[in-house]
């Protein structure tokens, strides 16, 4: 925590943290698209490395890193929370030399998160930091490394007596760039529905094929997922929720945000399921039901139907005709 009393979690500047900033990186590994849903270079939605690419990069830089082999976790948590996984790896490289330097090496904390919170595993650490970046930074408009640094690693912080924080943006940016990222661009991952968008939203996988389409739409938003399936059956309006685990052919995500910050994300989702005529839907919101590819999609935003949907966006998907 900074000397100014910043309430968001941030790393602790400890001996060894930032050591990676002194390393010279010369490797340029190929980058492939996550989920095959690329965006323009340097923007939110830029192509991200797959698990194998990340593992290869980490093994090349720090052969003994305990994070080698966790490339799939970086990708999954990055995708789930709308964060480019390359940025997560770059931060871990700078803060702890990929889990090998500083106090974090002994407490499963590659990011100095907390500061110095002990985790039960590297997997839990990566998941927590990805979620924290999404909710505490990206959702608040801090989606570039330069915008993240004043909160994550503020200059003059009491726990940074040697001034290591001054190198944070440049160092993390160098590693991010080495993996193909734009160090001055957004680290938010907001994929576009390129190619066969209809196929991306057709039934496939768990929950009667509704989980993957919902997750594609959630990733498109760039917002953190705050709720999926749950045991509570009814909505605030008395209906049966797509969130309910008792219904097996439907799925839902709630996305953490608030109005008007979530308007653009809601519009992206509305356009994906309803077409270009919904490009500005998020500014007014309401209840949007669209049937496509055998699924009834429901989008709730700026409405009290079904509960308070001014503090989150709801995406529900149910197979058409499913009513157990």
At residue 230, the pLDDT reads 94
Neighbours of 159 (CB within 10 A): 18
DSSP for 251-274 reads EEEEEE--TTTTHHHHHHHHHHHH
Exposure letters 189-203 (e unless 16+ CB within 10 A, then b):
bbbbbeeebeebbeb
* Per-residue model confidence as pLDDT tens digits over 135-155: 788 767 788 999 999 999 898
The full set of domains in the chain, from first to last, is 19-178 (1.10.530.10), 197-319 (no CATH)
At residue 276, the pLDDT reads 75
At residue 81, the pLDDT reads 72
At residue 197, the pLDDT reads 56
* pTM attached to this predicted model: 0.56
At residue 48, the pLDDT reads 58
Q: Name 74's bridge partners.
A: none
At residue 14, the pLDDT reads 34
Question: Are 161 and 83 spatial neighbours (Cβ–Cβ below 8 Å)?
Answer: no
At residue 196, the pLDDT reads 53
Q: Which stretches within the chain are classed as H helix?
A: 51-61, 71-81, 85-96, 122-136, 145-152, 168-178, 197-200, 206-209, 211-221, 263-274
Dist CA 252 CA 244 (whole Å): 9
Question: Are 242 and 316 spatial neighbours (Cβ–Cβ below 8 Å)?
Answer: yes
Taking 70 as the pLDDT cut, the residues of the chain under it are: 1-48, 139, 189-199, 324
Task: Tell me if residue 56 falls in helix, strand or coil.
Answer: helix
């Amino acid at each position: 925590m900074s000397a100014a009393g910043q309430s968001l979690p941030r790393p602790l500047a400890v001996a060894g943290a930032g050591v990676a900033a002194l390393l010279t990186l010369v490797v340029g590994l190929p980058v492939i698209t996550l989920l095959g849903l690329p965006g323009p270079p340097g923007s939110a939605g830029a192509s991200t490395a797959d698990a194998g690419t990340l593992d290869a990069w980490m093994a090349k830089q720090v052969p003994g890193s305990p994070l080698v082999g966790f490339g799939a976790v970086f990708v999954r948590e990055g995708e789930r929370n709308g964060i480019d996984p390359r940025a997560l790896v770059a931060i871990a490289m700078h803060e702890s030399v990929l889990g090998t330097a500083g106090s974090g090496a002994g407490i499963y904390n590659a990011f100095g998160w907390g500061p110095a919170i002990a985790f039960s595993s590297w997997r839990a650490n990566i998941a927590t930091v990805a979620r924290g970046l999404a909710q505490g930074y990206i959702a608040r408009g801090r989606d570039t490394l330069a915008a993240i640094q004043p909160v994550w690693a503020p200059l003059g912080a009491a726990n940074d007596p040697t001034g290591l924080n001054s190198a944070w943006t440049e160092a993390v940016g160098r590693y991010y760039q080495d993996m193909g990222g734009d160090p001055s661009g957004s680290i938010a991952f907001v994929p576009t529905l390129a190619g066969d968008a209809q196929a991306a939203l057709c039934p496939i996988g768990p929950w009667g094929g509704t989980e993957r389409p919902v997750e594609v739409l959630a990733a498109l938003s760039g917002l953190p997922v705050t709720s999926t399936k749950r045991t509570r059956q009814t909505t605030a309006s008395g209906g049966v929720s797509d969130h309910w685990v008792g219904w097996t052919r439907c799925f839902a995500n709630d996305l953490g945000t608030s109005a008007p910050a979530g308007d653009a994300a809601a519009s992206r989702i509305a356009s994906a399921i309803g077409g270009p005529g919904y490009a500005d839907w998020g500014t007014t919101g309401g209840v949007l039901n669209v049937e496509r590819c055998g699924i009834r999609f429901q989008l709730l935003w700026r409405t009290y139907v079904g509960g308070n949907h001014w503090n989150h966006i709801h995406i529900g998907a149910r197979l058409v005709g499913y009513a157990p």
